Amino acid sequence: MDWREVIALAQGAPNPAPRRVEKSDEEWRAQLTPDQFAVARQAGTERPFSSQMCSLFQPGLYACACCGTELFDSSSKFESGTGWPSFGAPVADGVVGYHADNSHGMVRVEVTCNVCDAHLGHVFPDGPEPTGLRYCINALSLEKIAS
Ligand code: FE
């Protein structure tokens, strides 16, 4: 994945998900904490530096907090200084969805869980090599799991 591919996907290039999980808002509300629901299901943003996950670099996988799909690996995690967990790449093609986001007077690319449509955060073209991408992700949308 590189920025050119990100833009293509955000403009509607095919991006098939490995599977689909669809639940009602009531079902998500019953399963998630109120903070998780606000961020993952209502595209909220947690306060920066609000999670210890930012400075956590132990090996492991980061799964979607809603549906459990493995999204990111600790090997691509880096310290961005932004106050949000940051990754250089997802674990596989198709697990992350890309959407043009023109809210708040900015042109950004929103990233979602491509399996359950959970809001994850945004991706920016200022990350480290080799991808040059920075996936800026809300910790509330992720669950750290053992590798
Ligand atoms: Fe999900």
Calculate how far, in angstroms, residue 39's C-alpha sits from the geometric centre of ligand 1: 13
CB-neighbour burial class of residue 83 (10 A; exposed 0-12, middle 13-18, buried 19+): middle
pLDDT tens digits, residue range 95-106?
Answer: 999 999 988 888
pLDDT tens digits, residue range 131-147?
Answer: 999 999 999 999 999 76
Q: Establish whether 116 is a catalytic residue.
A: no
At residue 137, the pLDDT reads: 98
pLDDT tens digits, residue range 38-74?
Answer: 999 999 999 999 999 998 899 999 999 999 999 999 9
Calculate how far, in angstroms, residue 96's C-alpha sits from the geometric centre of ligand 1: 9
Domain count, the chain: 1
What pTM was computed for the model? 0.96
CATH number for the domain harbouring residue 13: 2.170.150.20
Domain assignment of residue 120, given as a range? 3-145
> Could you tell me which residues come within 8 angstroms of residue 7 by beta carbon, excluding any fewer than 6 positions away?
109
